[in-house]
């Protein structure tokens, strides 16, 4: 059954983002197979990587997912209305103004410093309750998480510092899991093992999507796939075991023949080296199509790649269909992301990562959710 994200239907659809929620469920099951027997938690922060929190969460819940990670408190609150019994971890921690909502919505903060641990422990004492928490240990990202000095203090005084708290997860995060040969992976693994040996026993988690593919040593008790669920390749350059999830398509607005020597688009950045057949489609940077795809990306017409020529503009992009066999005409379908042009192809051409491509897609393209193949 197809489900659109609103009731409005028009004769002309400039662009459509199709989300295969059945593929998200399949990717979750693939992660389970690869990480077995570890628990697989779904990372649905940033509106499920821009795909849409509600349909993604529903698909994951139906697939058996009972543990989720979000970044912002608001994301956790929204998810709680959909997943009433699930464990929901909030990566932003437990800042003072977050505490009432964390407790009210039964959200589990990921504590990132001794100060946060102390504040959450004080809340437990004040409310006379035992509060669950995850604790983030920095093993080399130097972003969030307990620094080495804080870890040493926690290990020496854990009984006092964790008073009133039930640690349900020790976690860290790999910096280079997308590069399986990176030495940093082994360094962080050993640092995490050392940290766990210093601390009270509790479930542990080190790996997100890429870490799942690094081998059994990296799995621990829980893995946290994000981009893998949405069809991105966690280790670009290697075979992707996860199914594509999104297809972004638009329509050709106009086709024209242009002579050799003419230029295309703003600032005349592309000059034709031969007589060419050009097509212009109704999609641009207002839809999340990066301007860096100008003169570097491609679209697919009739299943054949056609290079983007000239600058991507706000509402339009132009591509060269001279070498596309068959008829190319106005109203014809054009694929920006899908079976021919993968999500990672787009990211590479835009000189970025698949995460940024997904989270940048605007809501201007109509969204359609497919829950069956």
Output the domain CATH number for residue 48: 3.20.20.10
Q: What is the mean pLDDT of residues 244-264?
A: 97
Q: Are residues 357 and 307 in the same domain?
A: yes
pLDDT at 131: 98
- Nearest one of 98, 139, 128 to 116, comparing CA atoms: 98
Secondary structure string (H, E, C) spanning 207-256 = EEHHHHCCCHHHCCCEEECCHHHHCCCCCCCCCCCCCCCEEEEEEEEEEE
Query: Going by DSSP bridges, is the β-strand pair 276-281/317-320 parallel, antiparallel, or unpaired?
Result: antiparallel
For residues 238-243, give the mean pLDDT: 96
Kindly state the tokens that stand for 314: 């706000």
Q: Do 64 and 100 share a structural domain?
A: yes
The CB-based long-range contact list for 327-332 (8 Å cut-off, 24+ gap) reads 328/252, 328/255, 328/277, 328/279, 328/301, 328/302, 329/252, 329/255, 330/251, 330/252, 330/253, 330/254, 330/255, 331/251, 331/252, 332/251, 332/252, 332/301
pLDDT at 237: 87
What is the number of domains present in the chain?
2
- Identify the band that residue 331 occupies on the pLDDT scale cut at 50, 70 and 90: very high
Torsion of CA 163, 171, 96, 165, to 10 degrees: -20
Mean pLDDT of 208-233: 98
- Grouping H, G, I as helix, E, B as strand and the rest as coil, residue 336 is strand
Residue 11 pLDDT level (bands cut at 50, 70, 90): low
CA distance 131 to 71: 19
Same domain, 273 and 126: no
Q: What is the pLDDT confidence band of residue 13, given thresholds at 50, 70 and 90?
A: confident
pLDDT (0 to 100) of residue 14 = 85
Q: What is the DSSP string of 94-111?
A: --GGGHHHHHHTT-EEEE
Q: What is the pLDDT of residue 40?
A: 98
Q: What is the pLDDT of residue 4?
A: 52
Relative to beta strand 246-258, strand 276-281 is antiparallel
Catalytic (active-site) positions? 45, 266
Q: Is residue 334 part of a domain?
A: yes
Which tens digits make up the pLDDT trace of 57-93?
999 999 999 999 999 999 999 999 999 999 999 999 9
Considering the domain architecture, whether residues 218 and 324 belong to the same structural domain is answered as no
User: In terms of domains, do 226 and 298 share one?
Assistant: no
pLDDT in tens, 21-58: 999 999 999 999 999 999 999 999 999 999 999 999 99
pLDDT at 2: 54
C-alpha angle 149-153-159 in degrees, rounded to nearest 5: 155
DSSP code at position 338: S
In a domain, residue 29? The reply is no
Inside any domain, residue 28: no
- 27 falls within a domain: no
274 in the same domain as 200: no
Provide the pLDDT for residue 122.
97
In this predicted structure, the answer to whether residue 6 has a pLDDT above a threshold of 70 is no
Domain with 308 in it: what CATH number?
A: 2.40.37.10
Q: Is the pLDDT of residue 9 over 60?
A: no
Cα separation of 191 and 293, whole Å?
40
Q: Which of 1, 16, 43 is nearest to 230 (CA)?
A: 43
Q: Is 109 within the bounds of a domain? A: yes
Q: Is the pTM for the entire model greater than 0.75? A: yes
The verdict on 272 and 302 lying in the same domain is yes
pLDDT reading at 7 higher than 50: no
* Co-location of 162 and 275 in the same domain: no
Confidence band of 355 (pLDDT split at 50, 70, 90): very high
| Rounded Cα distance, 200 and 159, in Å | 9
Q: What's the chain's length in residues? A: 373
195 and 251 housed in the same domain: no
Report the pLDDT value the prediction gives residue 169, as an integer from 0 to 100: 98
Per-residue model confidence (pLDDT) at position 342: 96
Compute the mean pLDDT over every residue in the chain, rounded to the nearest whole number.
95
- For residues 192 and 261, state if they share a domain: no
pLDDT digits (tens, 9 = 90+) for 255-306: 999 999 999 999 999 999 999 999 999 999 999 999 999 999 999 999 999 9
For residue 274, count other CB atoms closer than 10 A to its CB: 10
What is the rounded CA–CA span in Å between residue 215 and residue 185?
A: 11
Residues 56 and 198 in one domain: yes
Query: Domain limits at 201?
Result: 37-230
């Amino acid at each position: 059954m197809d489900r659109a994200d609103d009731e409005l239907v028009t004769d002309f659809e400039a662009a459509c983002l199709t989300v295969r929620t059945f593929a998200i469920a399949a990717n979750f099951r693939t992660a389970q197979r690869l990480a077995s027997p570890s628990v697989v938690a779904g990372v649905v922060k940033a509106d499920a990587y821009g795909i849409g929190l509600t349909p993604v969460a529903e698909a994951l819940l139906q697939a058996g997912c009972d543990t989720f990670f979000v970044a912002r408190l608001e994301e956790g609150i929204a998810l709680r209305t959909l997943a009433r019994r699930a464990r929901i971890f909030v990566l932003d921690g437990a800042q003072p103004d977050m505490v009432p909502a964390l407790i009210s919505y039964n959200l589990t903060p990921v504590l990132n410093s001794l100060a946060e641990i102390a504040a959450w422990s004080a809340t437990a004492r004040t409310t006379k309750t035992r509060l669950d928490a995850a604790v983030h240990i920095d093993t080399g990202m130097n972003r969030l998480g307990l620094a080495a000095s804080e870890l040493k203090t926690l290990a020496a005084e854990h009984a006092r510092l964790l008073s009133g708290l039930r640690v349900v997860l020790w976690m860290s995060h790999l910096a280079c899991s997308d590069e399986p040969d990176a030495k940093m992976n082994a360094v962080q693994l050993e640092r995490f093992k050392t940290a766990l040996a210093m601390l009270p026993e509790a479930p542990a988690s080190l790996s997100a999507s890429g870490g799942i593919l690094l081998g059994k040593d990296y799995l621990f008790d829980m893995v946290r796939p994000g981009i893998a669920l949405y069809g991105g390749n966690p280790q670009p350059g290697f075979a992707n075991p996860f199914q594509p999830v999104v297809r972004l398509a638009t329509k050709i607005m106009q086709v024209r023949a242009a002579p050799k020597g003419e230029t295309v688009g703003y600032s005349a950045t592309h000059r034709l080296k031969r007589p060419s057949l050009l097509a212009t489609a109704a999609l641009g940077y207002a839809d999340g199509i990066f301007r860096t795809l100008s003169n570097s990306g491609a679209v697919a017409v009739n299943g054949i790649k056609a290079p983007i020529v000239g600058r991507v503009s706000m509402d339009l992009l132009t591509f060269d269909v001279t070498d596309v066999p068959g008829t190319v005409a106005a109203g014809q379908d054009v694929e920006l992301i899908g079976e021919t042009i993968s999500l990672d192809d787009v990211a590479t051409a835009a000189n970025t990562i698949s995460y940024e491509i997904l989270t940048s897609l605007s809501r201007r393209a109509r969204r359609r959710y497919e829950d069956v193949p």
